[in-house]
A and B are shown apart, each in its own frame.
Chain A
Amino acid sequence: MAQDRHPLFMPLILVGGLIFGFGLGFSQMARPEVVLDFLQFEDFGLLFVMFGAAIVSGIAFALVPRIRDSAPLTGDRYERRLKSFDRNVLVGGAIFGVGWGLSGICPGAAYASLGTGNVAILWAIAGMFVGAYLQGRWRSRAASGEPAVAGAD
């Protein structure tokens, strides 16, 4: 799989990540205080980060498939890979919401926060790995305890 990849695949992912991370730093969404100020209705500017980013990606997602059929570095078709809706979206979203509201940090912003020098954010990143591991253990067990019917994610 990995050796079949286009030589520019990884460099492009890196460049995309660089722009993404620079943006999180510039917007200060990488600062938990700024997110908490938003959630406490003291500074609504964060709306411009979330919706600004969604509008930019929305334009690309809408236009690119009309111009080209497949991505140059993977050959994959440009298509909407929509996630299925079920109760997990609500339960998980609510748990994420409590964590975001308590800490002021979400995954992408946490990685960027580390880049701005915020070594204290390693507490949050460590917590995220612990949380991801716990749910993975529970769900791996639940999946192996059930008859193997649906392999859907």
Chain B
Amino acid sequence: MIESVPLQLTAELFPNGISRYAVGGLLVGLGAVVIYLGTGIAAGASTFLESTLSYVSDQSRFQRYVSSRDWRVVFTLGIILGAAVFAATVQSGVITTSLYEAGTTGQLYDVAGVTLWMTDVQPWRLFLGGILVGIGTRVGKGCTSGHGVCGVGSASKTSIVGVITFLTVAIGTAQVVAALGVSP
């Protein structure tokens, strides 16, 4: 009985276990490290938004990213492709591992033998949230990867303050939205 209390607590805090999260996190970190090792660049994902806009807009705010815009496109394509490889292997069940907990969120669908996934979260939430993410990450000098992974990893005080800010506000926002009955 005494031993089952922490086990119950663990099951409550981590209903999907921790292995998929930990393995995924290690890989995200490893991806950032591979780029850093070869190039010295601590890559973030949100600068892509502005650097890509420099292809179509002359605004000075975007033009400052001209020199990095090509590799940022490649980085983003790599992220999309890497996730597609995950979909074609683990998500499709071609590779099975006890480290991966599939969960029950969203909808699975099949295209040419590959199991793909679709969110149930409503489009207006994605679009409106996306606009705020686009404004906020660029004004705030970074997102979950730039501040969260690379910044926290290099013990940058600016990034740590940034992460605490967006994490706290996101928790408050998600709780309020859920309390208002918005779901999914």
Contacts and interface: CB of A to CB of B under 8 A. Distances in A.
Interface in B137-184: 137-145, 147-159, 161-163, 165-175, 177-178, 184
Given A28-B20, A56-B30, A82-B156, A114 B80 contact: yes
B5 interface: no
Interface in A28-77: 28-34, 36-37, 39-58, 60-61, 64, 70-74, 76-77
Contacts of B121: 32-33, 36, 103-104, 120
B59 interface: yes
A92 B41 CA distance: 23
Interface range on chain A: under 10, 10 to 19, 20 to 34, or 35 or more? 35 or more
A51 to B, nearest CB: 7
B6 interface: no
Given A13-B71, A16-B75, A108-B143, A57 B29 contact: yes
A132 interface: yes
A-side interface mostly = helix
A143 B29 CA distance: 35
Contact of B87 (A25, A53, A99, A121): A25
A126 B52 CA distance: 13
Most A-side CB within 10 Å, residue of B103, B114, B134:
B134
Interface string A70-100: 1111101111111111001111111111111
B4 interface: no
Contacts of A107: 45-46, 48-49, 133, 137, 143-145
Most B-side CB within 10 Å, residue of A13, A37, A50:
A13
Given A27-B21, A74-B39, A85 B157 contact: yes
B40 A77 contact: yes
Contacts of B129: 98-105, 124, 127
Contact of A73 (B39, B115, B145, B169): B39
Interface of A: 1-2, 8-10, 12-34, 36-37, 39-58, 60-61, 64, 70-74, 76-85, 88-121, 123-137, 139-140, 143-144, 153
